[in-house]
Amino acid sequence: MPARPVILTVDDDPGVSRAVARDLRREYGEHHRIVRAESGPAALEALKEIALRGEQVAVILADQRMPRMSGVEFLEQAMDLFPRARRVLLTAYADTEAAITAINVVDLDHYLLKPWDPPEEKLYPVVDSLLAAWRDTPDRPSAPVRIVGHRWSSRSYELRDLVARNQLSYDFLRADEPEGARLLEAAGADPDQLPVVITEDGTALIQPTDAQVVEAAGLATTASEAVYDLVVVGGGPGGLGASVYGGSEGLRTVLVESRATGGQAGTSSRIENYLGFPNGVSGDQLTTRARLQAEKFGTEVLTTRTVTSLEPRGRARVITFDDGSEITAHSVVLATGVSYRMLDCPGLEEHTGQGVFYGAAATEAASCAAQDVYVVGGANSAGQAAMNFSRHARRVIMLVRGPSLAASMSHYLIAQIEANPKIEVRTCTEVVGAAGTEHLEKLTLRDRNSGAEETVEASWLFVFIGAAPRTDWLDGVVARDGRGFVLTGPDLPGGPNGRRPAGWEMDRDPFHLETSLPGVFAVGDVRAESVKRVASAVGEGAMAVSLVHRWLENR
């Protein structure tokens, strides 16, 4: 039998906590499991255990005025674990400020005053409507997985990162520990066949591909149709924005993502300058909400699918995947974003995934407890990662090639870093070497002014340098600048008439976000001269859909 959905209540007053749970159990206990906690941290631990068991949480009721962690603060963290759960804030009196904060920060579903007597009038109707809304919300199948591998295996890290970024519950078990060894024996796998992934139904996947893992977890990897109005390539903020607006405006839309939706923004621990979130929002939260919106409006989302070519066939645009399969589109939005550049110095490549990571690598943050962490880069992504790692690490050392952070980092983030005693910023410093056996153990650093070098002990290095567009597969198809960014609209080079691109067949100028191939648009970081901010990428995604409509009406 499937597990009963959970209704969780948290209140620091034991008497109130028991009373709420009693009333909920009396009305809903037959079909739901009622879980109560008496503090925000205790409730979060309960939610983590529920997530690991693969159960669902339908409704969360949280008291606002709790010590150590307010109701809003608790609900904000709970959203990362169960973004579809309906959220209720309890308070003993009208608290307008708390209500407004809850609506902005945690998308609150209901604000409930205590006491709730009689529950038949004041509590049950609210919970009834929230349960009905939760049941009606499209839900991704819960498919927790267990990954058995070596602690410092780069492939084990890749799989952990894959399932985490796709919001899937997982547990990592080391092969050299009793539980991991037991699972390997049960799966009939040898220690040299790692990693092994065990799905919820007990299926053992030995050295699986990314696609095999996400398929087993219930995510789609194959298109359901052959022809779409709009294909969005890339699931970062720009691609998600285009997917939401494409689906909401009635276009048959499919979003194709090579790894996990969210892009680099999805790995950010805290985005504090995004409109409408005064207390900030994590990349996970923003990504999950956007993906849910897109799916609600009928957008199909394909994960772990790599696009290898784009080809015009008449007015159709044909997308080809790495397995040779194709889908046809009437229009295309390119939102493939950028990737972090690799550090080019001896010893780093062989330790990628073994202490050297490109991007935030959120799965590793807790493992850095009481250790030194080195972060390379001076832009917002590096700063956000440094702030996040400082919650766990003994010390975070930022290595910046330039003379200061001011050239590439937002002022608010610089102020936070300067006020954080656990973060040290070393300017005019670069990594020139790395060493270790099974994992990273030492780094060689060079002062760019004096040329002096020093070797430091280091097990953790996170790299956030530069932005390389993922556009090699578009060579000869759309115009790009010298660095590979896609040119659009007024930035396109003029053809023989000096205005329109060479080979342009339309009797109009290219639209603002349109590439040199009519009906193909580019948004977000992949677009030349774009503003490298989450909000601008989302806006461009929305704008692209309005231009898609103009293209479809007149093509």
The pLDDT, as a whole number, for residue 280 is 76
Handedness of CA 246, 268, 6, 103 (dihedral sign): negative
What does the alpha-carbon distance between residue 37 and residue 42 come to, in Å, rounded to a whole number?
6
- Beta carbons of 66 and 73 less than 8 angstroms apart: no
Q: First-to-last CA distance in the chain? A: 53
Q: Which two tokens stand for residue 53?
A: 């068991």
Tell me whether the omega of the peptide bond preceding residue 195 falls within 30 degrees of 0, making it cis: yes
CA separation (Å) from 101 to 75, 106, 115, 405?
Answer: 11, 8, 22, 31
Which secondary-structure segment (H or E) carries 399? strand 395-399
Name residue, tokens 């492939």. Answer: 155
Task: Quickly list H helices, 94-253.
Answer: 96-106, 119-122, 124-136, 154-165, 178-187, 210-216, 237-248
Lowest mean pLDDT among 36-50, 64-78, 98-112, 317-331: 98-112
Question: How many beta carbons lie within 10 A of that of residue 262, not counting itself?
Answer: 26
Give the model confidence (pLDDT) of 338-397 as tens digits.
Answer: 888 888 889 888 899 899 998 877 777 778 888 999 999 999 989 999 998 998 899 999
Handedness of CA 290, 146, 370, 154 (dihedral sign): negative
The pLDDT, as a whole number, for residue 142 is 45
How does residue 104 score in pLDDT terms, banded at 50, 70 and 90? low
Give the model confidence (pLDDT) of 198-239 as tens digits.
Answer: 887 778 899 999 999 999 888 999 999 999 999 999 999 999
What number is the average pLDDT over the span 78-84? 82
The pLDDT, as a whole number, for residue 141 is 45
The pLDDT, as a whole number, for residue 143 is 45
Q: Helix axis angle, 71-81 relative to 283-296, nearest 10°?
A: 60
CA separation (Å) from 220 to 80, 169, 193, 244, 351?
Answer: 22, 17, 26, 18, 32
Give the model confidence (pLDDT) of 229-267 as tens digits.
Answer: 999 999 999 999 999 999 999 999 999 999 989 888 877
The pTM of the full predicted model, rounded to 2 decimals, is 0.74
Phi-psi region of 207 (alpha: psi -120 to 50; beta: other; left: phi over 0): left
What does the alpha-carbon distance between residue 537 and residue 237 come to, in Å, rounded to a whole number?
6
Q: Which two tokens stand for residue 64?
A: 């606002």
How does residue 407 score in pLDDT terms, banded at 50, 70 and 90? confident
What does the alpha-carbon distance between residue 454 and residue 470 come to, in Å, rounded to a whole number?
35
What does the alpha-carbon distance between residue 47 and residue 519 come to, in Å, rounded to a whole number?
46
β strands within 458-553, DSSP E: 461-463, 468-469, 520-522
The pLDDT, as a whole number, for residue 293 is 92
Q: Which residues, listed in sequence order, are joined to residue 61 by a DSSP beta bridge?
A: 9, 88
Check pLDDT > 90 for residue 456: yes
Check pLDDT > 70 for residue 158: yes
Of residues 547 and 119, more confidence is placed in 547
How does residue 495 score in pLDDT terms, banded at 50, 70 and 90? low
Lowest mean pLDDT among 49-58, 119-128, 156-165, 472-481: 49-58
What does the alpha-carbon distance between residue 233 and residue 256 come to, in Å, rounded to a whole number?
5
Q: Which residues, listed in sequence order, are joined to residue 522 by a DSSP beta bridge?
A: 334
What does the alpha-carbon distance between residue 469 and residue 481 come to, in Å, rounded to a whole number?
11
The torsion angles phi and psi of 396, rounded to 5 degrees, stand at: -115, 125
The pLDDT, as a whole number, for residue 210 is 94
β strands within 276-321, DSSP E: 300-302, 307-313, 316-321
Q: What is the mean pLDDT of the chain?
A: 88
